[in-house]
Structure 1
Amino acid sequence: MAIANADLTIRELHAAVGRSAVLTDHQTLAARSNDRSAAASQGRAIALVRPRDTAGVSAVLRIAATHRCPVVPQGRLSGLAGGANAVEGAILLDMTGMNAILRVDPVEMVAVVQPGVITADLAARAAREGLFYAPDPASATECTIGGNVATNAGGMRCVKYGVTRDSVRSLEIVLAGGEVVRTRPPTVKAVGGLDLTGLMVGSEGTLAVITEITVDLLPAPGPTLGVSASFSSVDDALDTANAIVAGPHRPSALEFCDAGVIAALRAKVPESGLPADAMAWLLVLTDSAAGAGEDVRWYTQTARAHRAVRVDSATDAGAVERLMVARRALNVAMRAVRGGSLNEDVAIPRSRLGELLRRLDALSARRGVPIATAGHVGDGNLHPVILFDPHDPGQVAAAQQAHIDVLAMAQELGGTATGEHGIGLEKLGAVDAELGPRLRSIQRGIKAVLDPQGLLNPGKKL
């Protein structure tokens, strides 16, 4: 973008949303140019805009359309795929200031929120009303609902409650030219049109900007109880997990860690009490309002029947919280091992998880970088973590190649390169192989209808 055009764009932004909401200094733009992925930004933005309401977002998009200026919607930058990274000449649209919980309705059992609301804050507000917001990404205490919707975020409770899309009822969105629309009525049932709500969820800011979100709430669950089980082999842990998923006592979380992850978590969170000598560990939780004790007994029996070395019940809030704190520390703990990490997000059929883990071991040996794996074994979504020294160019290159290999491996096993983190920039190279040319063409055609100038988060997802 020419400097004169950029200057004119910024002046119009000042007039539309106020000078205090438009930041152009290098330090601010640099700090907001990258999320937590290893993907580099794609250029320097011209401004960071912090809208206060939907009207402000609409004004920004109208100005952007007039001057053909890219717009990159952003939340708290906790993403792991580069989806919110800056592109050349862009307006960075920081939605974190639109952070009001507008309504919690115990009759309709919905909440209406702005996109900047922190996920854990919504969950806490719902709980005060005796209700429950189910999605629970690992970064729930810092990520936003808008970011969750943009990436269709998952988390540990997906095995019982599904991903973010399963809790989104309706959206208010701003189209690329600035027009404000709602994707559907807020009723439980609404089949009068195509599912634009589902289309927007997971679109990573490439189709529209989300300004208001209506989510489903559930009755409050019971207290979380669970089982911590360690195994001398990965196969025994996977057999246990498959038996639990197929059984009559549906868990609210079913998490797996291999020996490499266990060691890193023990070093980072020593008070967790994770087993020192296990080759694999399962955390199985229930939040059933009735029958939770029977759930725990059944999980214990199942683990023992599949050769668990040790099974401990976590039947009080403190014990469960210690284990959850450890599991949520995955990314930080793994990065501390060598200073650098690539956090993968593949999902494959559960019947092939053992094959995936064996192939990851072989890949680690072939590329010369450690790979340790944790994840949501109950739905087949694992997070292999590739470890490397960021100051060693050879390790960096080996890790990058291993990253490409892991994505291809998941697809070869009938799965996907991303179960919940999104495509962003980091996984663009894997999308063609996964979807094929016809589906890619259809999806790009949808974007062309909604964003004919290609200004919304260009170069990402699609």
Structure 2
Amino acid sequence: MESLLAQLRSAVGSPAVLVDVDVTASYRRDMMPLAPCGTPLAVVLPTTAAQVQEVVRACAAAGVPIVPRGAGSGLSGAANAVEGCVVLVLTRMNAILEIDPANRLAVVEPGVVNLDLRTAVEAHGLFYPPDPSSYDWCTIGGNLATNAGGLCCVKYGVTTDSVLGVDVVLASGELLRTGRRTVKGVAGYDLTKLFVGSEGTLGVITRATLALRPLPQAPSTLVATFASTVDAGAAVTRVVREGVVPSLMEIMDRTSIRAVEQYLKTDLSAGAALLICQSDAGGEAGRRELAAVARACSEAGAELVHTTDDVSEGRDLLTTRRSVLTALEVLGAWLTDDVCVPRTRIAELITGCERISAEVGLPIAVVGHAGDGNMHPTIVYDPASEDEFARARRAFEEILGLGLELGGTITGEHGVGKIKREWLEREIGPVALGVHRAVKDALDPEGLFNPGSMFSRR
């Protein structure tokens, strides 16, 4: 491997090739403790697409796997190293290359932090919608690789809905440009959507052209509390039937509420569930939207419904939702699942998680995007206890099974990674899995891009 390391140093410079195991250890895995990881041969930090091409060609000639990586905020093990691989870290490719207000688009490198892009385009009166919970440190490249979502998905969709095109380094070292800068375009296969969400298994994204939207109005906020999970679920169903599409609709269960109350030292006066909605329609349109939501909550049996146009108060209310994972850290380590179910079955998922919690003897807090049914049951456990870790793993698996039983999917936004490979096959079936493998074989015939992520080749 010394010959390969020499080529890598020639390609990106010696300081950008890390081999000290004490240093490379921090690049071995993402935030998912259950996913396996190996020890990389090296960690390489390129600064240009041309350098990425050279690295890919050198690794291909040596038969060494490549695992692309962003900031490491993922929750599926998709960026975890495999034994003897090169971890290709793209965080130094962090330039916002262009903001085009007239055409409402931005061109960025993969290492740009989500929040930095959002802040930059806001100066032009524009808005980049995808907002994962880690938006203040996750990178656009990682968002693209996992097709990340966030709190605003109910109205604005997930990452792929904001991508016009990408530049991708293929297994051959060639640079592929997909998509276009126009609003419409249907020429050929939609290769852009093929690469978004592919978790680095088909190529390395080095640039993205992203669609922007006009900056929304300052949001109005509604919070509703419920004595039962069933009532909260019924409220979500009623909102959907009303035809209202709020910019945000989040749900918290009893365990989440209690953890946040303890962490923020506040009283949310909520029983079994809490619903937070926002409308960024502005003016009379926004008031009509939240009035319809308030009516739906009241008819579903809400104990309390409160609406405010005060931006500061709304921000404080949303802080309760964004603080859940941090609040749970006070109780122990957490393991976050990611299942999406039909919105009419959210209550069944929450009650099912309560049952699983009682069976495994560990707290499970359910919080999630009620507007699109994407729930994040979070298991709290003691990482020093092998028994509790085993029970947490059991709960994780049972929640995935529950999600499928309810007509849902094993992941709404975190991806499959190296932790849900068997579950992907269970969800999509052998024919679809065969198509996945055919695509992989066509674009990465030697299987060197992120091997073992999403599915096994054979």
TM range, normalised to the smaller chain?
over 0.9
1:451 aligns with 2:422: no
CA distance in 2, matches of 1:420, 1:426: 14
Shift of 1:355: 2.1
Q: Determine the structure 2 residue equivalent to 1:242.
A: 237
Show structure 1 runs of 4+ deviating over 4 A: none
1:179-198 matches, cutoff 5 A: 179-198=174-193
SS in 1 for 2:378: strand
**1:258 and 1:280 in contact (8 A); partners too:** yes
TM-score by length of 1: 0.95
Q: Deviations over 1:342-391 (max 9, x none)?
A: 10100111222222222222222222222221101111111111121222
Write the letter of the residue equivalent to 1:236. Answer: D
Kindly state the Cα deviation for residue 210 of structure 1 after the two structures are TM-superposed: 0.3
1:433 corresponds to which of 422, 426, 438: 426
Q: Which of these residues, 110, 113, 124, is aligned with residue 108 of structure 2?
A: 113
| Displacement of 1:41 | 4.3
Counterpart of 1:310 in structure 2 is: 304
Amino acid at match of 1:355: E
For residues 53 and 214 of structure 1, the distance between their equivalents in structure 2, rounded to whole angstroms, comes to 16
Deviates most, 444-453 or 389-398: 389-398
Deviation string for 1:198-222 (max 9, x for gaps)? 0111100100100000111111110
The CA distance in 2 between the partners of 1:151 and 1:460, in whole Å, is 11
Q: Could you tell me how far 1:262 is from its partner in structure 2?
A: 0.5
Q: Distance in 2 between matches of 1:65 and 1:328?
A: 42
Question: Following TM superposition, by how much is the alpha carbon of 1:267 offset from its aligned partner in structure 2, in angstroms?
Answer: 1.9
Q: Structure 2 counterpart of 1:265, which letter?
A: V
Which of 30, 34, 38 lines up with 2:33 in the alignment? 38
When residues 235 and 217 of structure 1 are mapped into structure 2, their CA distance, relative to the original with a 3 A threshold, is same
The equivalences for 1:37-436 within 5 A come to 37-270=32-265, 274-275=268-269, 277-290=270-283, 291-337=285-331, 339-436=332-429
For residues 343 and 166 of structure 1, the distance between their equivalents in structure 2, rounded to whole angstroms, comes to: 24
Does the CA contact (< 8 Å) of 2:165 and 2:210 recur in 1?
Answer: yes
* CA distance in 1: counterparts of 2:318 and 2:246, whole angstroms: 15
Cα distance in 2 for residues equivalent to 1:326 and 1:213: 33
Is the 1:170–1:182 Cα contact (8 Å) retained in structure 2?
yes
CA contact (8 A) 1:45 1:87 kept: yes
8 Å CA contact retained: 1:35, 1:82: yes
TM-score by length of 2: 0.96
Could you list the per-position Cα deviations for residues 60-101 of structure 1 after superposition, in whole angstroms to 9, with x for gaps in the alignment?
101010101111111110111111111111111110111111
Secondary structure of residue in 2 paired with 1:97:
coil
Residues in 2 aligned to 1:29 and 1:300: alpha-carbon distance in whole angstroms: 51
Q: What's the Cα RMSD here?
A: 1.4
The one-letter amino acid of 1:42's match is C
SS class of match (1:148): helix
Give the drift of 1:248: 4.0
Matching residue of 1:24? 19
Q: Which whole-Å CA distance do the structure 2 matches of 1:336 and 1:318 have between them?
A: 26
- CA shift, 1:238, in A, is 1.1
CA shift at 1:328, angstroms? 1.6
Percent identical across equivalent pairs?
Answer: 42
Instruction: Tell me, yes or no, if the aligned pair for 1:39 and 1:425 is still in contact at 8 Å.
Output: no
**Partners of 1:86 and 1:108 in 2: how far apart?**
39
How far did residue 245 of structure 1 move?
2.1
Q: Residues of 1 paired with 2:138 and 2:424: CA distance?
A: 25
Question: Cα offset for 1:31?
Answer: 0.8
- Post-superposition CA distance 1:238-284 (Å, at most 9, x none): 1111111222432000000000000111222235x533x41100001
The aligned amino acid for 2:338 is D
SS of structure 2 residue aligned to 1:307? coil
Tell me: CA distance 1:403–1:211, structure 2 relative to 1, closer, same or farther (3 Å).
same
Secondary structure at the aligned position of 2:277 is classed as: strand
Kept in 2, the 8 Å contact 1:226–1:284? The answer is yes
Counterpart residue identity of residue 39, structure 2: R
The Cα of 1:305 is off from its aligned counterpart by: 2.3
Q: Name the residue aligned to 1:3.
A: none
For the residue of structure 1 that corresponds to 2:24, the secondary structure is helix
- Aligned AA for 1:51? P
Partner amino acid, structure 2, of 1:299:
V
C-alpha distance in 2 between matches for 1:378 and 1:249: 10
CA distance in 2, matches of 1:248, 1:442: 36
**How many angstroms does 1:184 deviate by?**
2.2
Equivalent-residue separation in structure 2 for 1:270 and 1:293 (angstroms): 31
Q: How many residues align?
A: 454
CA distance in 2, matches of 1:83, 1:156: 22
What SS class does the counterpart of residue 225 from structure 2 fall into? strand
Specify the SS of the correspondent of 1:149.
helix
Q: Distance in 2 between matches of 1:40 and 1:421?
A: 13
